[in-house]
Structure 1
Amino acid sequence: MSTANTDNPALAASFILVATTFIAGTMLMAKTLGTDLLGPALHPLQVSHGRFVFAFLAISSVAAVMRPRLTPPSWRLHIGRTSFGWAGVSLMFASVAFIPLADATAITFLNPVFGMMLAIPLLGEKVGRWRWGAAAVALIGAMVLLRPTPASFQPAALLALAAAMIMGLELIFIKKLANREPPLQVLLINNAIGMLIASVAVLPVWQMPSPAQWAALVALGLLMACAQACFINGMARADASFVAPFSYATLIFAALYDFLGFGVAPDAVTILGATIILTGAAVLAWREGRQRRRAAPVTPSDDSPSAA
């Protein structure tokens, strides 16, 4: 069976790498808006509101031009996925205002680990020793990044940890939505519902942004829309287990942007913790790929006896 999702691994990797530059850019914008660099710091709920509003405007504009064929949506799954996604993004944006981008990014990479754990009770999945081992390694890395000593503990890192846990819940809904609806429809509905939730949540903390903050909010939404588009295109051209490790480049770009924008260089603890987390995540992605290949049905080749 010839499908687009295995046709071009090199292009898939390129799409994912470009997506990581955009994702790291959204975190830089969030940190800029959460500090007083462009004016009085905006509340994280207002930052996430801008992310959903301007991403929705961008994606709906694309949908208006492309006019994709829509199918009946599963509203229960969309609402669940977007609710957890909005909460996770808001907590992540809150964390980057207080801790280095590299730390926040590395901790949020725990979301597939939490997703794996939650899939046991929620999806009835079985988890073997390899998966538990990879999860344990990643969690050890998170403990390193939390710096659990009285002198160096970063309370704001708990916000990033909570974001990873909530995004793990979002993954459960994403798994249930997979292959049910067209990708553009999923993005459109996700950002529309997210915009509605964020618009209500932001009301108590809304403040008028400065012109520079408006520009940063627009950039945040557009960067997220571009990241989502690149990620979907990457996933469509290669197996998830192949492209997953390339998403870890987000950490590199986050550290680079933090250094260029705020002069924050990753220290030895950040490098150690991030390396441990990425090792666990990489092992988990590798194991998922092996399990998926084993479970895939065997397609007879043209020269096999059963193909006749």
Structure 2
Amino acid sequence: MLATNGLFFMAVKTVDLTTASSIMFLSPIVVMLLAIPLLGETVGIRRIISVIIGFVGALVIVRPGVIEFDIAMGFLLVATVTHALYQIYTRQIRVYDHPLTSLLYTGVVGMIVMSIIVPFYWQQPTLSHWPFFVLMGMAGCLGHFCLIRSLRIAPASVVTPFSYTTLIWATGFSYILFDELPDIWVYIGAVLIIASGFYILFREQKVKQSG
């Protein structure tokens, strides 16, 4: 989660929130791909097709060769992988750790790593910055706890679709706070990615019910 947050923060310096959130929707697709080597799961032709559609959606957003590639897009693509790994491992340890314990481990590791890195990039914050730091910390803590808790009591196929509402919040906040709106291609790519993710989750649920 530390890597995911760090990469996301670096990306949104130059990429609007809606575009960044749309690319992060690749995470459920990456979860399915990583489940093959990590969990020994098999993937049928239908899910392979849905994965291809999802990555086509990502290409529509990034548009390599059409617009100049921004390294921030690369950060976001890597962040989808680290976020997928986080979801897989959170799901695996749900029977061993309480959500608060998992949240504590995440915070402690993040504090230790960032304490080593921060001195090299330190900039003295002003008093006006501190309310935002507090709000960001509280929102992040609450969000991580809810994610851990939800994955503990419900399958990922039930939890993950709710993450797609991020597109609504990201677009709204991006417009209200920063007066930013992405172009139409970002929304087209997001629709492809979301449709792909929903289909994968639907197939997983159907397979579990039939099994």
- Verify same fold: TM over 0.5: yes
Max Rg structure: 1
Judge conservation of contact 2:27–2:83 (CA < 8 Å) in 1.
yes
Residues 1:145 and 2:61 are matched in the alignment: yes
Judge conservation of contact 2:94–2:152 (CA < 8 Å) in 1.
no
Residues 1:294 and 2:191 are matched in the alignment: no
Task: Give the SS at the match of 2:71.
Answer: coil
Deviation at 1:227, TM superposition (A): 1.5
1:236–1:170 Cα change, 3 Å: closer
- Write the distance in 2 (CA, Å) between the matches of 1:291 and 1:132: 15
1:175–1:240 Cα change, 3 Å: closer
Matches within 5 A, 1:46-65: none
Amino acid at match of 1:100: D
Structure 2 residue runs without a partner (length 5+): none
RMSD: 2.0
Counterpart of 1:214 (choices 119, 123, 130) is 130
Judge conservation of contact 1:112–1:171 (CA < 8 Å) in 2.
no
1:87–1:228 Cα change, 3 Å: closer
Matches within 5 A, 1:158-197: 158-197=74-113
- TM-score where L is the length of structure 2: 0.90
**1:275 maps to which residue?**
191
Deviates further, 225-234 or 95-104: 225-234
1:97–1:249 Cα change, 3 Å: same
Deviation at 1:259, TM superposition (A): 0.3
Task: Give the SS at the match of 1:202.
Answer: helix
Amino acid at match of 1:229: F
Deviation at 1:284, TM superposition (A): 1.3
Residues 1:244 and 2:160 are matched in the alignment: yes
Residues 171-190 of structure 1 deviation map (CA, whole Å, 9 limit, x = unaligned): 33223313221112111222
**2:48 maps to which residue?**
132
Deviation at 1:233, TM superposition (A): 4.8
Deviation at 1:221, TM superposition (A): 0.9
- Write the distance in 1 (CA, Å) between the matches of 2:45 and 2:95: 28
Judge conservation of contact 1:110–1:164 (CA < 8 Å) in 2.
yes
- Write the distance in 2 (CA, Å) between the matches of 1:242 and 1:178: 16
Counterpart of 2:30 (choices 114, 137, 153) is 114
1:101–1:246 Cα change, 3 Å: same
Judge conservation of contact 2:28–2:84 (CA < 8 Å) in 1.
yes
Structure with the higher helix share, 1 or 2? 2
Residues 84-127 of structure 1 deviation map (CA, whole Å, 9 limit, x = unaligned): x2112101111111111011111112122222212222222212
Residues 1:154 and 2:70 are matched in the alignment: yes
Residues 216-265 of structure 1 deviation map (CA, whole Å, 9 limit, x = unaligned): 12111100112123334545665432332122001110011000011112
- Write the distance in 2 (CA, Å) between the matches of 1:238 and 1:116: 17
Amino acid at match of 2:191: T
1:114–1:234 Cα change, 3 Å: closer
- Provide the aligned length of Structure 1 versus Structure 2: 211
Amino acid at match of 1:140: V
Amino acid at match of 2:58: A
Amino acid at match of 2:74: L
- Write the distance in 1 (CA, Å) between the matches of 2:152 and 2:81: 26
Amino acid at match of 2:188: L
**1:8 maps to which residue?**
none
| Deviating 4+ runs (over 4 angstroms) | 232-239
1:171–1:228 Cα change, 3 Å: closer
Task: Give the SS at the match of 1:125.
Answer: coil
